[in-house]
Amino acid sequence: MDNSQKRKIIVAIDGYSSSGKSTMAKELAAKVGYRYIDSGAMYRAVTLYALENNMIDPDGNVDSGSLGKALGDIHIDFALTPQGQHTLLNGEDVEHRIRSMEVSSHVSPVAAIHSVRQALTALQQRFGTEKGIVMDGRDIGTTVFPQAEMKVFVTASPETRAERRYKELIQNGTPAKYEDVLANVIERDHIDETRAESPLRKAPDAAVLDNSHLTHAQQSEWLLNLFHESELKANGSEC
C-alpha cells in the first residue's frame, strides 16, 4: 500500500506545560505530512482576548459571564508563515503575544471555564474531521478525540520544564526570572490537574513518555516508531 492509500489517523499528544510536547508534535506532523494543531494556543488566544477586553481584573478573576457571551466574536485560526505556524485571533497574528508571561499566568483559570472549553473542543473536533492531524494539549486523548488512533502522554519534572520555558522566554527577548517561571509551571500543573472539567489526565490507552532524561533524537525516534505502529494497526495488515 503506498502512502496516498493509507488511512490517515489522529495523533493526540497530551501532557504537562513545557514538557516539550508542542515541539515533538510539530516535528512529527512535518515528518509524516500531517497538519499540526496547538490546542493550548487556542486557550491562550481566548485569554489574550479576555485581557484586552478587560474581562480579567487585577486580582486575576475572570468575568466568565462576559467571556462566555463574547465567544461568538472570537475567531481562532492558524496560518502557515515563513516562521512556522502562527495563531490568528480575529485575523490578527498573535503568535508572539500569546506566549507572554501575562497570558501564561492567566490562561489556566480561562481554560477552566465550561463555555470556553465547550467552544474550543468543538473547534478542535472540526479540525480533526479529515484526520491526518497531530494535536497537542491536555485533554485531546481523553475528551476531544477519545477515539484517536495514537495517544501519547508526555511528562518531565517541573524543574526540567521550568528551565526549558525560561530559556525559551529569554531567547525570545522576554524578560523572566527562573523562580517565577518555576512557580508558574507548578501552579498551572495544579490548576490543570484539579479543575472540574477535562482535568489533565493520562488516557488509559495513552503511551507515557517521560522525557526528563531523553535526548531530542531519542524522543523523535520513539514517537516516529509509535506513529508507524499505530498507522499499521489502523490500516489492518494491508500496509
**Positions that interact with ligand DC (CB under 6 A):** 17, 39-40, 43-44, 107-108, 111, 137-140, 188, 192
CB of 142 to ligand DC, least distance (A): 9
100 burial type by CB count under 10 A (0-12 exposed, 13-18 middle, 19+ buried)? middle
Instruction: For ligand DC, give the closer residue by CB, 145 or 227.
Output: 145
CB of 144 to ligand DC, least distance (A): 7
Max CA separation in the chain (angstroms): 58
The single-letter DSSP state of residue 142 is I
Instruction: For ligand DC, give the closer residue by CB, 171 or 237.
Output: 171
Q: Residue 15: how many CB atoms within 10 A of its CB? A: 29
CB of 107 to ligand DC, least distance (A): 4
Set of cell numbers at residue 51:
485581557
Write the CB contacts of 223 (distance below 8 Å, at least 6 apart in sequence): 24, 27, 28, 152, 209
Asked whether 143 and 159 are in contact (CB, 8 A), the reply is no
The single-letter DSSP state of residue 8 is P
CB of 42 to ligand DC, least distance (A): 7
CB of 108 to ligand DC, least distance (A): 4
Instruction: For ligand DC, give the closer residue by CB, 196 or 237.
Output: 196
The single-letter code of the amino acid at 133 is I
Q: Given the C-alpha cell 525559551, which residue does it identify? A: 168
Q: Which of 75, 95, 76 shows the shortest CA–CA distance to 85?
A: 95
Q: Residue 207: how many CB atoms within 10 A of its CB? A: 17
CB of 124 to ligand DC, least distance (A): 7
Instruction: For ligand DC, give the closer residue by CB, 14 or 149.
Output: 14
Instruction: For ligand DC, give the closer residue by CB, 39 or 219.
Output: 39
Instruction: For ligand DC, give the closer residue by CB, 143 or 230.
Output: 143
